[in-house]
Chains A and B, each alone.
Chain A
Amino acid sequence: MSGPDQSLFDVEEMEINFGPQHPATHGVLRVKMKLDGEKIMEAKPIIGYLHRGTEKLFETMTFPQCLPHTDRMDYVAAATNNQGFCVTIEKLLGITIPPRAAYIRMILAELQRLASHLVWLATHAVDIGAITPFFYTFRERDAILDLFEEYCGARLTLNTMKIGGVPFDLPEGWLDRCSELVDGFNGHIDEYENLLTENRIWKKRTIDVGVISAEEAIEWGLTGPPLRGSGVKWDIRKVFPYDRYDEIDFEIPIGEKGDTYDRYLVRIEEMRQSVRILRQCLDRLPDGPQMARVPKVLRVKEAGMVYGSVEAPKGELGYFIVATEKATTPYRCRVRPPSFINLQALPAMVEGRLVADLMAVIGTLDIVLGEIDR
């Protein structure tokens, strides 16, 4: 054998650990990688560092007591977590909520979607190297959290819905302040887009990164923006409308290629659609009670299992509840967390690509570890 001495250019696979304490992992995600130089040969997400046994705890609590614990799963989108749980229990108990409650819920849920997408945009951009959008998005997110604080007293773990409706009517002047925010919001989205959408560096870092086809996305069970980014027009709000989404006019944005840039565009457009939904909800907010007449003790009549789901900012958030006869607690409460299932596709999206793309893909999947580990 002739040629240069191979031992000088020894190509060896290196095993490296990414996280769990790393700012770009959005929490305590650990990815064990095998690298060939900068190229990822194998990536294996390791999770469970934030496992708190929420599903086990649910089995010991009455239905209303479970609600505050749902906040702590996807902690940047607490309102949609509450909504999912309430919708499921209402299905199990056969409760119909009054229209005003449904509209207030939709307002809160869409505000929450905006807040969650703003966190996603901020951290995703910071991961890739654009720090400015962070300051812009957190300005608006704070305005949304102020509205939440005024409504229910909390900013993050809201516990803002009740089985059968919402706990309070809107405070005086809240609608005007919300209206003001909503009216100006499209302008703010334009600001973010000015910074990123046509930015050369942004495009180079996101186009053709983390591509996943529509068939693959369905195979991997992706939901939410990662599925829509691949071109599947699918949104729980349209497919299985809950609350009063069937009365609202909005579009489902979809991507073409299923790369990180498409998912970025999908989420940006989703924010515009949320603004549109909010506008309609604020204009049409009906009068009436904000709570249905529900019994003081919520008791299941017949044993059975139900599954209820909502379109959370991250994807389909489902609750699967098994109840025994005359029970006041769930016998089993399974949460179908969208982040957990979306994260599973991470190896398929990064293997064969550079380490730097891993940050982009983790960012674009928009994971929250509190929900993955429960």
Chain B
Amino acid sequence: MSDDKPITPPETPETPETEGGSPEQAAAPETEEKQPLSDEEKAAKIAEAKAKAAAKKKAAEDAEPKDPWEEKPVPPVHEDAADDPDAEALNAEMPGVVPAADRFAGEVTLTVPAGRIVEVCEFLKQDRAYTFLVDLTAVDWPEREEGRFDVIYWMHRFDDSKRLRLRAVVADEQPIASVVHIWKTANWMEREVYDLFGIVFEGHPGLERILTWEGFNGHPLRKDFPVEGIDTGAAIYPDVYPPGGGPPPEETEESEGGAP
């Protein structure tokens, strides 16, 4: 790098800005050398190129249009969905409750504050006929400032077969209100989210672990939980295994009584 430096400074004063007329003079001989063509020839060339392009275009039009499966995939894009009737109805009923509405691959996602989830869901079920809760789940974003978890509600309306997604952001250790009294089906879904993510649903009739067992140490679907799992011996047999890990190796070799 240091070798290049002495070369560059002498070049810089010769830039067009510093010496007004010289660039044109310098440029003129170059263009003449490179372009002996007159304007007519130039025009002819341009016309030729244009005709070529047109022919190509025509050929492409004449040929059968390519089938969509032969073409490159067309991924969906995000659009603003503030014009969605449900978003409008929600904002009219509870001003400012839907700060962001997004449409992606034909699916509408409304972001709502976690604290108002119950009133929003009640309104959607009673006034907007979303009688069917299809799914309730969560997504973990450990590094996000806004809040660690997205709780996702995905509901269905039978009248016109429309589906709507709600997204509520909760921070780590921040509880969210349960919607079991609105849709009974949310019961096990919330238990599953509690089990696998550790999000507490306030007002749930029996918030217990569902896929792992009571006493399991950790929430497996959190991003910081190791994929290969943890040693759960301590949790299953607290009287045999010391808390915080499995049995020490030397004890198992002797194994008097051992693991049940």
Chain B residue at minimum C-beta to C-beta distance from A322: B139
With beta carbons under 8 angstroms apart, the residue of A51, A293, A295, A302 that contacts B78 is A302
- CA distance in complex: A104, B213 (Å): 42
* Residue contact A51 to B75, C-beta cutoff 8 Å: no
* Residue contact B104 to A304, C-beta cutoff 8 Å: yes
Query: Closest CB of chain B to A86's CB: distance in Å?
Result: 13
* Residue contact A293 to B76, C-beta cutoff 8 Å: no
Q: Contacts A47-B210, A98-B67, A221-B133 hold; do A344 and B188 have CB atoms under 8 A apart?
A: yes
Beta-carbon contacts of B22-53 to A below 8 Å, as 1s and 0s?
A: 00000000000000000000000000000000
* Residue contact B69 to A94, C-beta cutoff 8 Å: no
Beta-carbon contacts of A300-329 to B below 8 Å, as 1s and 0s?
A: 111011110000000010101010000000
- Whether, in the assembled complex, A234 has its beta carbon less than 8 Å from a beta carbon of chain B, the answer is yes
- Whether, in the assembled complex, B109 has its beta carbon less than 8 Å from a beta carbon of chain A, the answer is yes
Query: Closest CB of chain A to B74's CB: distance in Å?
Result: 4
Query: Closest CB of chain A to B126's CB: distance in Å?
Result: 14
- CA distance in complex: A239, B162 (Å): 10
- CB-CB under 8 A from B227, the residues of chain A are 53, 56-57, 59-60
Query: Closest CB of chain B to A91's CB: distance in Å?
Result: 5
* Residue contact A53 to B229, C-beta cutoff 8 Å: yes
Q: Contacts A48-B212, A53-B229, A340-B188 hold; do A320 and B74 have CB atoms under 8 A apart?
A: no
With beta carbons under 8 angstroms apart, the residue of B70, B73, B165, B212 that contacts A307 is B165
Binds A, one of B10-18, B81-89, B179-187, B242-250: B179-187
- CA distance in complex: A340, B213 (Å): 17
- Whether, in the assembled complex, B124 has its beta carbon less than 8 Å from a beta carbon of chain A, the answer is no
- CB-CB under 8 A from A289, the residues of chain B are 69
- Whether, in the assembled complex, B72 has its beta carbon less than 8 Å from a beta carbon of chain A, the answer is yes
- CA distance in complex: A97, B70 (Å): 9
- CA distance in complex: A92, B70 (Å): 18
* Residue contact B185 to A318, C-beta cutoff 8 Å: no
- CA distance in complex: A353, B56 (Å): 76
Chain B residue at minimum C-beta to C-beta distance from A300: B75
Is the interface on chain B under 10, 10 to 19, 20 to 34, or 35 or more residues?
Answer: 35 or more
- Whether, in the assembled complex, A332 has its beta carbon less than 8 Å from a beta carbon of chain B, the answer is yes
- CB-CB under 8 A from B213, the residues of chain A are 48
Query: Closest CB of chain B to A310's CB: distance in Å?
Result: 13
- CB-CB under 8 A from B77, the residues of chain A are 302
* Residue contact B188 to A219, C-beta cutoff 8 Å: no
- CB-CB under 8 A from B105, the residues of chain A are 91-92, 304, 306
- Whether, in the assembled complex, A373 has its beta carbon less than 8 Å from a beta carbon of chain B, the answer is yes
* Residue contact A48 to B210, C-beta cutoff 8 Å: yes
* Residue contact A221 to B211, C-beta cutoff 8 Å: no
- CB-CB under 8 A from A56, the residues of chain B are 220-221, 225, 227
Summed over the interface, the residue pairs from A and B with CB atoms below 8 Å come to a total of 125
* Residue contact A55 to B75, C-beta cutoff 8 Å: no
Query: Closest CB of chain B to A254's CB: distance in Å?
Result: 14
With beta carbons under 8 angstroms apart, the residue of B68, B131, B189, B225 that contacts A96 is B68
- CB-CB under 8 A from B73, the residues of chain A are 93-96, 292, 294-295
* Residue contact A93 to B75, C-beta cutoff 8 Å: yes
* Residue contact A292 to B188, C-beta cutoff 8 Å: no
- CB-CB under 8 A from B172, the residues of chain A are none
- CA distance in complex: A98, B71 (Å): 11
* Residue contact B76 to A91, C-beta cutoff 8 Å: yes
Beta-carbon contacts of B222-239 to A below 8 Å, as 1s and 0s?
A: 000101010000000000
* Residue contact A239 to B139, C-beta cutoff 8 Å: no
With beta carbons under 8 angstroms apart, the residue of B134, B137, B185 that contacts A220 is B185
Query: Closest CB of chain A to B213's CB: distance in Å?
Result: 7
- CB-CB under 8 A from A304, the residues of chain B are 76, 78, 104-105
- Whether, in the assembled complex, B135 has its beta carbon less than 8 Å from a beta carbon of chain A, the answer is yes
- CA distance in complex: A334, B2 (Å): 56
* Residue contact A293 to B139, C-beta cutoff 8 Å: no
Beta-carbon contacts of A236-265 to B below 8 Å, as 1s and 0s?
A: 000110000000000000000000000000
- CA distance in complex: A219, B133 (Å): 8
With beta carbons under 8 angstroms apart, the residue of B69, B76, B140 that contacts A97 is B69
Query: Closest CB of chain B to A336's CB: distance in Å?
Result: 5
Query: Closest CB of chain A to B76's CB: distance in Å?
Result: 6
User: Most B CB atoms within 10 A — which of A301, A306, A307, A331?
Assistant: A307
Query: Closest CB of chain A to B65's CB: distance in Å?
Result: 13
Chain A residue at minimum C-beta to C-beta distance from B161: A239
- CB-CB under 8 A from B70, the residues of chain A are 292-293
Between A and B, 22 residue pairs with Cβ closer than 8 Å are: A47-B210, A48-B211, A51-B211, A53-B229, A56-B220, A93-B73, A96-B73, A101-B69, A165-B69, A218-B132, A220-B184, A221-B133, A221-B134, A239-B161, A292-B69, A304-B76, A304-B104, A306-B104, A322-B139, A332-B140, A332-B221, A341-B185
Nearest 8 CB-CB pairs, A to B? A221-B185, A292-B69, A96-B68, A301-B75, A94-B75, A94-B74, A48-B211, A98-B69
Residues of B within 8 A of A (CB): 67-78, 104-105, 107, 109, 131-135, 137, 139-140, 152, 154, 158, 161, 163, 165, 183-185, 187-189, 196, 209-213, 220-221, 225, 227, 229
